[in-house]
A = this chain, B = another copy of it.
Amino acid sequence: MARSQTTKKLTRIQRQRTDIILEAALDVFSDFGFRGSTIDMIAKRAKLSKPNILYYFDNKEAIHVTVLAKLLETWLAPLHAINEDNDPIDEICKYIEQKLNMARDFPRESKLFANEILQGAPHVLPELQGALKDLVAQKVKIIEAWSKDGKIAQVDPHHLFFSIWATTQHYADFDIQVRSVLDDNTKDPFDTAGPFLKTMFSTMLTP
C-alpha cells in the first residue's frame, strides 16, 4: 500500500496522484473550509474515486495537514527574503509587494490559511509558535537595528509585521467585501492597493 509512507521513494503514479489530490483539496478546502468539505468533493474535483483518495491519504485530516504544510513553506518565503544590508524602506516595500502579489496569485492559499487561523490553528499551532515565531524574532531584530541606526523611524516591529500581513491578505481573504464596496469594476483592487500600502508604510517609516 502507498499510504503513510515515511521516507520511502515514491512511484511515478504516487507523485502524480498525490499532486492531483492536493491541488483538488486546496480548491475544495479553501472554498468550504475543513468541515464543509467532503472527501467526495475532493474526489470529484480530482477525477478519482473516494477509495482511491483514501489509498493515498489515511484520512481527510491527513489531506488537510499536508495541504497546510505545503502552503506554509511558500507562505513564509517573502519574509525570509528581508535583507538587513539593503535599503530599509526598499526592503519593506518589496516585502509588501511580494505579499500583495501572493494574495493576488494565491487567494486559495490565503483563504485556507485564514480559515485555519480563525479556527484556532488546530493543525499549525506548533509551526506558529516555532518556525514562524523564530523567523519573526529574527526579522524584528533587523527592524530594531534599522531604527537604532536612524535609518527608519521608531516603530514597534511586531505590529509593523501584523499590519503588513493584515492589509495585504485582506485583499484575498475579504475579496468579496472589497469588491462589493468598490463595485465600480473599472479598477482591480490589487492595482490600487499596492501604491496605497507602499505609501502608507513608507510615510510611517521615513525618519
Whether B173 lies near A162 (C-beta < 8 A) is no
With a cutoff of 8 Å between Cβ atoms, the chain B residues found around residue A132 in the complex are: 177, 180-181
Closest Cβ of chain B to A41, distance in Å, is: 12
A128 and B178 CA atoms in complex are apart in Å by: 9
Q: Is the interface of A mostly helix, strand, loop or mixed?
A: helix
Contacts of A2 in B (CB 8 A): none
Enumerate chain B residues within 8 angstroms of A155, measured Cβ to Cβ: 196, 199-200
Q: How far is the CA of A155 from the CA of B200 in the complex (A)?
A: 9
Would A159 and B196 be within 8 Å (CB), given that A133-B181, A165-B170, A166-B170 are in contact?
A: yes
Contacts of A156 on B, CB cut-off 8 Å?
Answer: 192, 196
Query: Which of B128, B160, B169, B176 contacts A120, CB < 8 Å?
Result: B176
Roughly how many angstroms separate A183 CA and B136 CA in the complex, as a whole number? 12
With a cutoff of 8 Å between Cβ atoms, the chain B residues found around residue A192 in the complex are 156, 158-159
- A88 close to B (CB within 8 Å): no
Residues A183 and B118 in contact, CB atoms below 8 Å apart: no
User: In the complex, given contacts A36-B119, A162-B174, A163-B167, what are 4 additional A-B residue pairs having Cβ atoms less than 8 angstroms apart?
Assistant: A32-B119, A33-B115, A159-B193, A163-B200
